[in-house]
């Protein structure tokens, strides 16, 4: 890949963490669990009657994951850093976003009975962390943009080769210069061909140009839009042809390496919820292919839009319990050949309108900031810190 490609690939594919820390909200430990409305929305209690994700590995390709966090201890496998420099463990700019996403996917809570902290959608799944981007506050981001442009594509292939069952991509490029990157597309197809489901956030430019986001727009990806607790499409969530399903993305409690808990908004969280849902489906039906699982999610989604699908919410709110039940009627026979063939369609759904298809020149550079339309995470309110009663980070 040429140097201009590298600049685009990492310069714009980011999960920008905008911290607007407000005064701490007084909260007890169990109040964290009380605010996890997304678990109820996804009917996880029903899904957990079958499985909690045991035996499934979800790769979190992000800013790194703090495996020592009380909500994640014992579940984070040895990962790989595709950047090789920047903030390290214990620094204020390390693994914020990745830890938050890992908690949504597979947090097991903490405390004597696990009733405290964040509980994930698939609390018995394992997390395979790959560091493919840096936090927006990391001073080394500019250097990474200039020298680590293949990190995302390399990370996807690595995760597939390491035995991941699901790859979560709570990141994306929906800047004005966003365009398909052949190496990333090929890496996604490689993962699909190995039977790995790939999930990505739909993008956060819904109220800022509504531009397509990559990797969400690559064929075969399960692209996730965000809704609030009432099932209403979040204004920031990108509306595009590739939207597969929707998931909670507003007022989401997330864990952080500083041992605080925050409230987050973004399609990053929605993607993590669906990656957890896919982990549950794969644990219940390990023989199904990525294409079958994607179809299961769309066929069993709840609260479908009028007409069955739209660009704002896809086919509706993901329902892992319903997908697990429907999956029992499917046969995995002959699916290995299907997986080897990969996903051959150019787009999921009807694709963009003809007038929308205008590929950017391959060498066009992303804006230096690289995050204008890619702020997929906003950590806003400190909720609680174990043993301290809630203190705001400065």
CATH code for the domain of 50: 3.40.50.200
How much is the pLDDT for 176?
85
Given a contact cutoff of 8 angstroms between Cβ atoms, the answer to whether 129 and 66 are in contact is: no
- Asked if residue 391 belongs to a domain, the reply is no
- From the list 5, 69, 97, 179, the catalytic residue is 97
- Asked if residue 69 belongs to a domain, the reply is yes
The series of mean pLDDT values per 10 residues for the chain, 394 residues long, is 31 39 38 93 98 98 97 98 94 96 97 91 98 94 85 98 98 88 97 98 94 96 98 97 98 96 96 98 97 97 97 98 96 50 46 45 30 40 43 27
Question: How much of the chain exceeds pLDDT 90, in percent?
Answer: 69
**Is 97 among the residues known to form the active site?**
yes
**Is 30 among the residues known to form the active site?**
no
How much is the pLDDT for 113?
85
- From the list 183, 268, 275, 289, the catalytic residue is 268
**Is 285 among the residues known to form the active site?**
no
**Whole domain around residue 34: which residue ranges?**
12-350+370-384
Number of structural domains the chain divides into:
1
- Asked if residue 245 belongs to a domain, the reply is yes
Q: Provide the token pair at 71.
A: 């909500």
How much is the pLDDT for 174?
86
- From the list 62, 71, 165, 173, the catalytic residue is 62
130 beta partners = 61, 80
């Amino acid at each position: 890949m040429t140097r201009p490609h590298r600049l685009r690939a990492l310069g714009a594919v980011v999960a920008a963490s905008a911290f607007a820390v407000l005064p701490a909200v007084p909260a007890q430990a169990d109040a964290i669990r009380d605010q996890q409305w997304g678990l109820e929305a996804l009917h996880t209690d029903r899904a957990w009657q079958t499985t909690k994700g045991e035996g499934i590995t979800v790769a979190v390709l992000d800013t790194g994951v703090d495996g020592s966090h009380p909500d994640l201890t014992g579940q984070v496998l040895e990962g790989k850093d595709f950047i090789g420099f920047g903030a390290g463990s214990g620094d204020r700019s390390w693994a914020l976003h990745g830890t938050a996403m890992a908690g949504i996917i597979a947090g097991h809570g903490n405390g004597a009975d696990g009733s405290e902290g964040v509980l994930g959608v698939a609390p018995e799944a394992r997390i395979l962390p790959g560091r493919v981007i840096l936090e927006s506050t990391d001073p080394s981001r500019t250097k990474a943009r200039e020298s680590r442009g293949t990190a995302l594509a390399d990370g996807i292939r690595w995760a597939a080769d390491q035995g991941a069952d699901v790859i979560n991509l709570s990141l994306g490029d929906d800047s004005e210069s966003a365009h398909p990157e052949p190496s990333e597309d090929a890496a996604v197809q490689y993962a699909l061909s190995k039977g790995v489901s790939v999930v990505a956030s739909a993008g956060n430019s819904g109220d800022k140009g509504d531009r397509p986001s990559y990797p969400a727009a690559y064929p075969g990806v399960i692209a996730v839009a965000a809704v609030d607790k009432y099932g209403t499409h979040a204004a920031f969530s990108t509306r595009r042809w590739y939207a597969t399903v929707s998931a909670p993305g507003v007022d989401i409690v997330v864990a952080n390496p500083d041992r605080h808990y925050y409230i987050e908004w973004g399609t990053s969280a929605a993607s993590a919820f669906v990656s957890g849902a896919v982990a549950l489906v794969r644990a219940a039906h390990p023989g199904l292919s990525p294409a079958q699982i994607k179809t299961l999610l769309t066929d069993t989604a709840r609260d479908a839009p009028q007409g069955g699908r739209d660009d704002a919410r896809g086919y509706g709110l993901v329902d892992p319990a319903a997908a697990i039940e429907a999956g029992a009627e499917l046969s995995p026979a002959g699916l290995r050949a299907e997986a080897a063939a990969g996903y051959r369609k150019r787009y999921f759904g009807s694709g963009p309108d003809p007038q929308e298809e205008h590929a950017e020149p391959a060498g066009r550079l992303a804006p230096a900031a690289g995050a204008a339309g890619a702020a997929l995470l906003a950590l806003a309110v400190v909720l609680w810190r174990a043993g301290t009663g809630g203190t705001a980070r400065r």
